[in-house]
């Protein structure tokens, strides 16, 4: 397995955990809406990249 695939997977998990991070009662609570948007974008982008890389591997082009 390529190191770049593991990096993409780690970024996907980081976005998921950022999405579920409880920020209530902290000084970061004011940034919660922006962090949710960033986390959603990160999860969507890296999931799409992993699907693309997987399809390339299945088709033998990557």
8-62 residue pLDDT tens: 999 999 999 999 999 889 998 999 999 999 999 999 999 999 999 989 989 988 6
Q: Which residue range is the domain that position 16 belongs to?
A: 3-59
Q: Are 49 and 10 in contact (CB under 8 A)?
A: no
Cα 49 to chain centroid distance, Å, stands at 10
Q: How many domains does the chain have?
A: 1
Task: Read off the pLDDT band of 4 (50, 70, 90).
Answer: confident
pLDDT confidence bin for 1, thresholds 50/70/90: low
The 8-class DSSP code of residue 22 comes to -
């Amino acid at each position: 397995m390529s190191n770049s695939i593991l990096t993409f997977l780690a970024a996907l998990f980081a976005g998921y955990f950022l999405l579920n991070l409880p920020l209530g009662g902290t000084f970061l609570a004011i940034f919660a809406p922006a962090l949710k948007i960033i986390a959603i974008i990160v999860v969507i982008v890296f999931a799409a990249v992993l699907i693309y890389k997987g399809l390339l591997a299945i088709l033998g082009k990557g």
